[in-house]
Each structure stands twice: as structure tokens, then as C-alpha cells.
Amino acid sequence: MFYYNIKESGKRIKELRKAKGLTQEKLSEKIGISCQGLKMIECGINGARIDTFVYLAEVLDTTIDYLVLGRSCMVIDDE
């Protein structure tokens, strides 16, 4: 069973941010939140709003599913 663990979610966000070569300042600028807000999310102190997850997923080239739950996106073939 999957559940939203804000500490693990924050770790995933931080890892992806670093892999993209982005600073907290640059990523927070791109997604429209304060640097302090991003820091609190990455440290697992605060969770993120759904619109923030949408922006994070877009900038970090991942899915909301991965950011929130840590699972990869499954592709379902309708054939």
C-alpha cells in the first residue's frame, strides 16, 4: 500500500533537483514558491500543495505519482 510520506517525498524532490543541477533558489523561482517554502518541503517539514506538485513534476521531468508516492508511472496498453 502506498501513502504520502512528506519526508520521503521531500527526499525525492531534493534528489531530482540536484540531478538536474538546480539550486533551491532556482527551482523555487521556476515553480513560483519561496526558497524557504521549498526548503521546508525538501526537509519533510511541510507537504506541498497539488499545484506545486504539478509544477515540480513538470520542471523535474517526472510524475506526481513518483514525487508523492515514490512509484513509477505504469503504462497501460488498451490493446
Domains, the chain, with CATH or none:
6-68 (1.10.260.40)
Q: Which amino acid is at 19?
A: A
Read off the pLDDT band of 72 (50, 70, 90): confident
Q: Would you say 29 and 17 are in contact if contact means Cβ atoms under 8 Å apart?
A: no
Cell numbers at 52, concatenated = 506545486
User: pLDDT higher for 79 or 43?
Assistant: 43
pLDDT value, residue 75: 47
In angstroms, how far is CA 70 from the centroid of its own chain?
10
Q: Is the dihedral of CA 12, 69, 43, 32 positive or negative?
A: positive
**What pLDDT digit, counting tens, does each position of 15-69 carry?**
999 999 999 999 999 999 999 999 999 999 999 999 999 999 999 999 999 999 9
Kindly report whether the global pTM for this prediction surpasses the value 0.85.
Answer: yes
